[in-house]
Amino acid sequence: MSYKLDLSDVERDGSEPITQQLVNRFVAAIDDGQLEPGEKLPTTRALAADAGVNHLTAARVYRRLAELGYVTASVGRGTFVRSVTPAPPGSDESDDWQTYVLPDAELSYAEEVQGDAFRLPDEPGMISLSTGWPSPKLYPTEEMAQIAADVFAEEGGAALSYLVAEGFYPLREELAKIGRERGFASEPNEIIVTSGARQAIDLIMRTLLEPGDIAVVESPTFVGTLSSLRAARARVIGVPVDADGLDVAALERVLARHEVKMCFLQPNCQNPTGRDLSNARRDRLAQLALERNFFLVEDHVYAGMRFEGEDQRPLRDEVPGHSIYINSLSKTVGGGLRIGWIAARGPVRDHLAALKLDTDFHTATLTQHMAARFLASGGYRRQVTATVPFYRERRDALIAALERHMAGEYRADVPRGGHHVWVTLPRPIDERALYREAVRHGVTFTPGMVLRPERTSSTQLRLSFSLLDPEELDEGVRRLARAMREVRRRDRGAATVPVS
């Protein structure tokens, strides 16, 4: 028998019943770790023989242990110590048991950093260079308040009613109008409204990919894309981004060796680099998708925030059957609206709609009504026109602050659009150590390693400027430079310690 208890000294004539004595012995052994989680216990007949009791007594012992939550029985397999045992009687309420019940899923470094991006900006004195949200100073709050009032006045209960999974039809009509101008959609039935672009990405990954499928992404890319790819258990291959966007020649080398299911990219104002895909590469990428029959998933969330250069038409304008388009109002109007959308056609569109229905039925009705009216009034165009100068000023302020406080210690292209500057440190430094030290100095950034699917020896940072005023950006970079000097100073000190 596999258990380790000596039951030969059970008191036959004691005041405590033999059944309870045996139960107490097992409970004590399990609580002390003498019997380990998952350990198989002897059969009732073996227990009866070992303890010198009859078979019915042994059966009562196991039944009582099961009632107390210490063991579990499986017909044909036997009786086992439970992985999670009950707390001792009279102990304080604790959540520790949840650790053992939940599936193994430790937070990754990327998830920790992403959590910090939501939590740390609210801490007193913290300057967040890691958060690329639109500035609340620019939200069209008065206009939205009036629209909300009009919706309730004119629609009544319909403003809070259920919708079809694809979304509020008048909103899809407005999006299709924009789509016809810009090349991402021709009719409302191509549009599926989502709860932000983040949900759109997740729905697409879950629809397209099965475990082991090969997906190509830009490296670096949006951290949420990598999270969704990991959840889909896809095999992810990163392709570099340079001054002309996704390196399509590198993609061709991948295609020569692998059967690629999907290529995810941000062809305009890429996050985090702010770069555009060149026209030559755009044409070649569309041709490759047609030749090899893989999906192009293009995220245009930051495309509206353009400071320089010409607007580029989406790949979907060239290969509508091979491209799935993503966009949202989050980076231009307000992330709290949670209004994003997908444009697709064919069976994949139907699969996406079915998954949307299975996930959350539909995106919030009220905000869809509001977004439809906002777009119909020309509010989106007015919003973009009014806010681009604001963000351009902050981009320039961040670049100036880098030159002021980190001259010679960084390289960075001036982004054509978006809310971020992608910084490379020519002298590598431990990114995790720098991140911890930066937080200690009261500033955050996004470490480059969480934005790549592969490991790299270079040190890169994403610095976001959209939420901060120029003087805050200057102070944030000053703190970051101090943190960097402190980490380098410690590294030099460690290098000079003699080895015994």
Looking at residue 104, its pLDDT comes to 66
Token pair listed for 414: 């001036």
The answer, yes or no, to whether residue 12 has pLDDT greater than 80, is: no
Strands 191-194 and 340-343, how do they pair? antiparallel
Looking at residue 321, its pLDDT comes to 96
Residue 415 near residue 430, CB atoms below 8 Å: no
**What pLDDT, in 10s, does the model give residues 94-123?**
666 666 667 766 667 777 777 777 777 778
Closest CA to 201 of 224, 185, 220: 224
Q: Which residue has the tokens 């390289």?
A: 411
Looking at residue 15, its pLDDT comes to 80
Token pair listed for 456: 């790299």
**What pLDDT, in 10s, does the model give residues 479-492?**
999 999 999 998 87
Looking at residue 88, its pLDDT comes to 61
Looking at residue 500, its pLDDT comes to 46
Closest CA to 316 of 135, 196, 179: 179
Q: Which residue has the higher pLDDT, 69 or 217?
A: 217
**What pLDDT, in 10s, does the model give residues 125-142?**
899 999 989 999 999 999
Tell me whether domains 18-101 and 138-377 share a fold.
no
Cα-Cα-Cα-Cα torsion 425, 428, 430, 433, nearest 10 degrees, comes to -40
Q: Around Cβ 362, how many Cβ atoms within 10 Å?
A: 20
Question: How many angstroms separate the CA atoms of 298 and 315, rounded?
Answer: 8
Token pair listed for 425: 């440190």
Give strand pairing partners of 423: 412, 461
Looking at residue 94, its pLDDT comes to 66
Token pair listed for 424: 């490379």
The answer, yes or no, to whether residue 495 has pLDDT greater than 60, is: no
Length reported for the chain:
500
The answer, yes or no, to whether residue 59 has pLDDT greater than 50, is: yes
Class of domain 138-377: alpha beta
Mean pLDDT of 355-384: 96
Question: How many angstroms separate the CA atoms of 349 and 342, rounded?
Answer: 9
Q: Which residue has the tokens 């939205």?
A: 144
Weakest-pLDDT range from 40-54, 83-97, 254-268, 420-434: 83-97
Closest CA to 202 of 150, 264, 155: 264
Question: How many angstroms separate the CA atoms of 371 and 197, rounded?
Answer: 15
Q: Which residue has the higher pLDDT, 103 or 434?
A: 434
Share of the chain above pLDDT 70, in %: 93
**What pLDDT, in 10s, does the model give residues 272-324?**
999 999 999 999 999 999 999 999 999 999 999 999 998 889 999 999 999 99
Q: Decide: helix, strand or coil at residue 14.
A: coil
Question: How many angstroms separate the CA atoms of 116 and 447, rounded?
Answer: 12
Task: Report, at the CATH architecture level, how domain 18-101 is classified.
Answer: Orthogonal Bundle (1.10)
Residue 215 near residue 259, CB atoms below 8 Å: no
pLDDT band at 498; cut points 50, 70, 90: low
What residues have CB less than 8 Å from 470, skipping those under 6 apart? 393, 394, 397
Residue 180 near residue 384, CB atoms below 8 Å: no
Task: Report, at the CATH architecture level, how domain 109-133+386-492 is classified.
Answer: Alpha-Beta Complex (3.90)
Q: Which residue has the higher pLDDT, 98 or 215?
A: 215
Q: Which residue has the higher pLDDT, 201 or 432?
A: 201
Domain extents for the chain?
18-101, 109-133+386-492, 138-377
Question: How many angstroms separate the CA atoms of 294 and 215, rounded?
Answer: 10
**Mean pLDDT for the chain?**
91
Mean pLDDT of 413-429: 95
At 169, the amino acid letter reads Y
Question: How many angstroms separate the CA atoms of 267 and 246, rounded?
Answer: 8
pLDDT band at 260; cut points 50, 70, 90: very high
Distances (CA, A) of 171 to 267, 334, 341, 353, 367: 25, 16, 10, 16, 10
Q: Which residue has the higher pLDDT, 436 or 122?
A: 436
Q: Decide: helix, strand or coil at residue 447.
A: strand
Question: How many angstroms separate the CA atoms of 408 and 426, rounded?
Answer: 9
The answer, yes or no, to whether residue 393 has pLDDT greater than 80, is: yes
Residue 23 near residue 67, CB atoms below 8 Å: no
The beta strand positions in 170-290, using DSSP E, are 191-194, 214-219, 235-242, 245-246, 260-265
DSSP per-residue string spanning 382-445: HHHHHHHHHHHHHHHHHHHHHHHHHTTS-EEPPPSBSSEEEEEESS---HHHHHHHHHHTTEE-
Helices and strands, number each (H, E), in the chain:
16, 17
